[in-house]
Structure 1
Amino acid sequence: MNAAGRQADPVEDYVTALTAALHGPARVKARMIEEIRGGLADTVTAHTRAGTADPRAAHRAIKEFGTVDEIAPGCQRELTIAQARHTARAVALTTPFLVACWYLAWTTGQDQPWALPRVAQLLAVHLAGVAGVAALLAAAALAVTGSLARRLPVPRRLPLTVAWAGTTASVAMAVATLALATACVLAANWPLLAPAGALAAVSHAVVAASARACRRCARLRTA
């Protein structure tokens, strides 16, 4: 009965296949799918009112929209840019807080008698520089894919560049988490280092997941 129901609704078959073919931010993808479903429904209604019987009206509407293989690359292009913006935004928002925490931990540990915490803090500060460069690239990507996109075309390799920038930042955050955790064990100012390490861990999880999704989208075929 379910199979018969699916066969009786070509539009839903079309939407299901298109949904499976696309990858990107969940909200953006859901909004895109709903717009396509609504457009198809309106077209089917127009054909029905013109005298075309179902399911011919549905098939005509789908033919006018184009097959899934025909429209998926263009839709995926839009979703890939949206995912790149999502990743760039995650890097741009999390990195400044981490840089501030790492700097504060380093400046308050200048008189630290233990050698290992001092080395760990210095390592975290250097990693902050790496993440800072990634943040600048992320900010540039947000600008290019935002207001400037109305005037200039978005470079095709920008999403992959953002993905690897996010990956680099997430790796720096992971190593910094270990460095700050090590410093926290031996340092006298551990109440300050512990929140910085926790923030680095959370930021790593957020940025790494977004960067992974961005790499996947960037490798898909787009228009």
Structure 2
Amino acid sequence: MGNAGPIDEYVVSMRHALRGPGGARRDLLAEARDSLLDAAEAYECEGLPRAEAERLAVADFGTVPEVAPGFQEELAVSQGRRTAALLFLSVPLTALSWSVIWRVFPGTPSMAVAKPEWYGLLSRTVDGIQLATGVAGGLALLALGRGLRRMRRPALVTRWLGLLVWLQMPIMAVMCVGLTVGAQGPAGFSGYIPGLVVSSITYALAAWWLHSAAHCLLYTLGAPALSAVDRERSLSRS
């Protein structure tokens, strides 16, 4: 970066300061760079040297510590939208897949074990939690979309989604193991191909949920509220 001008150095510093989804972060930095270049060109038209024009453009834009928090919250909101959409679409789909699998492939006679008394209540509890999680994802998606103008701290929704997934996942894991043992016995789905297939898909989705939720928490660490200017910019790209 020895030959880099003030604008390039500023963008590099901003890149190091921000955490967020790769595509959204690249778009945000490209927008900032374009704004700085436009400002520098305006100063050049007034007769200033290029280096001085870039320095003035950067000074007008604000220092990295001043600007980065607003940009960081935009990235946190972007991650929140991704996680909300993932929960809204995939969690109910997982519950539906298990319901369909038991109706289409009820299993072999050897798998027909007597279910304990608690099985029905546990099954309904799992279904209720999955439904509530899907609804929560839908509400968060709405809040981080059309509802963004009315929210003072939208990054809190992103953080809440991350906490929701990480707090409920251990509980859901224990309950699902209980359902498997209660329905199929200690052997679980051994030899039951449809159950193994859906289980594999469920585990893969659960890993995706945890990964996305972890990024929700990471990107909202220390993210303050968006300024009015930053929020309008975020809404214009939504």
**TM-score in same-fold range (> 0.5):** yes
Partners of 1:85 and 1:145 within 8 A in 2:
yes
Partners of 1:92 and 1:135 within 8 A in 2:
yes
User: In the alignment, which residue of structure 2 is the partner of 1:193?
Assistant: 195
User: In the alignment, which residue of structure 2 is the partner of 1:147?
Assistant: 146
Instruction: State the distance in 2 between where 1:118 and 1:189 align.
Output: 25
User: In the alignment, which residue of structure 1 is the partner of 2:234?
Assistant: none
Q: CA deviation at 1:124?
A: 6.5
SS in structure 1 opposite 2:3?
A: helix
Q: CA deviation at 1:49?
A: 1.9
TM alignment of 1:1-223, pairs within 5 A: 2=1, 4-6=2-4, 9-106=5-102, 108=106, 112-114=111-113, 126-150=125-149, 152-153=150-151, 155-156=153-154, 157-168=156-167, 170-171=169-170, 183=184, 185-187=187-189, 190-223=192-225
Aligned AA (2:128): G
Instruction: State the distance in 1 between where 2:71 and 2:46 align.
Output: 29
Q: CA deviation at 1:21?
A: 1.0
Gaps of 5+ in 1: none
1:186-223 CA distance string (max 9 Å, x none) = 55881221121011111012111110000111222323
1:40-62 CA distance string (max 9 Å, x none) = 11111111121111311111000
Instruction: State the distance in 2 between where 1:119 and 1:105 align.
Output: 21
Q: CA 1:40–1:177 in 2, change beyond 3 Å: closer, same or farther?
A: farther
Q: CA deviation at 1:147?
A: 1.7
Instruction: State the distance in 2 between where 1:121 and 1:192 align.
Output: 21
SS in structure 1 opposite 2:19?
A: coil
- TM-score w.r.t. the length of structure 1 is 0.82
- TM-score w.r.t. the length of structure 2 is 0.77
Q: Name the stretch that deviates more: 190-199 or 209-218.
A: 190-199
Q: CA 1:20–1:131 in 2, change beyond 3 Å: closer, same or farther?
A: farther
Percent same amino acid among aligned pairs? 24
Instruction: State the distance in 2 between where 1:119 and 1:34 align.
Output: 56
Q: Name the stretch that deviates more: 75-84 or 113-122.
A: 113-122
Q: CA 1:124–1:45 in 2, change beyond 3 Å: closer, same or farther?
A: farther
Aligned AA (2:162): A
Aligned AA (1:52): L
Q: CA deviation at 1:178?
A: 5.6
SS in structure 2 opposite 1:5?
A: coil
Q: CA 1:117–1:154 in 2, change beyond 3 Å: closer, same or farther?
A: farther
Name segments (4+ residues, structure 1) moved above 6 Å.
116-122, 179-182
Partners of 2:190 and 2:196 within 8 A in 1:
no
Instruction: State the distance in 2 between where 1:118 and 1:101 align.
Output: 24
Q: Name the stretch that deviates more: 154-163 or 36-45.
A: 154-163
Q: CA 1:192–1:147 in 2, change beyond 3 Å: closer, same or farther?
A: same
RMSD between superposed Cα atoms in Å: 3.2
Larger relative contact order (CA 8 Å, sep ≥ 6): 2
Instruction: State the distance in 1 between where 2:85 and 2:171 align.
Output: 17
SS in structure 1 opposite 2:128?
A: helix
